[in-house]
């Protein structure tokens, strides 16, 4: 039983060391410039400009607060570029407006 423990004490660090060296060699030899992907797209994205003053439900929104401004910016971007969700909102609108 004692011989088995001595054997593992020697070979376990050797095996781990070899694995680390092989991993470093594999990662070091990888070339990122070999596989270039060229994507041509005609879509252009631009941030939606937030006006200086904005009212919602007859009340002025406090756009001087950064959290309100960031939340509005997020909603405008999501609704401008996440078309499937925008279409879903339009389809569900009659349910909540009573029409």
The pTM score is: 0.42
Give me the mean pLDDT over the 43-59 stretch. 84
Comparing CA positions, the residue from 75, 57, 59 lying closest to residue 67 is: 75
Q: Which residue reads 């060699």 in tokens?
A: 25
* Alpha-carbon distance values, 37 to 27, 32, 33, 42, 87 (Å): 20, 11, 10, 16, 32
pLDDT band at 37 (very low <50, low <70, confident <90, very high): low
Residue 75 has pLDDT above 80, yes or no: yes
């Amino acid at each position: 039983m004692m011989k088995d423990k001595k054997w593992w004490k020697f070979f376990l660090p050797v095996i781990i060391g070899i694995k680390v060296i092989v991993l470093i060699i594999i990662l070091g030899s990888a070339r990122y410039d070999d596989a270039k992907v060229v994507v041509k797209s005609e879509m252009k994205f631009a941030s939606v400009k937030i006006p200086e003053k904005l009212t919602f439900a007859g009340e002025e929104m406090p756009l001087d607060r950064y959290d309100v401004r960031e939340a509005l910016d997020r909603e405008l971007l999501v609704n401008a570029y996440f078309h499937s969700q925008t279409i879903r909102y339009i389809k569900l609108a009659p349910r909540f407006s009573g029409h």
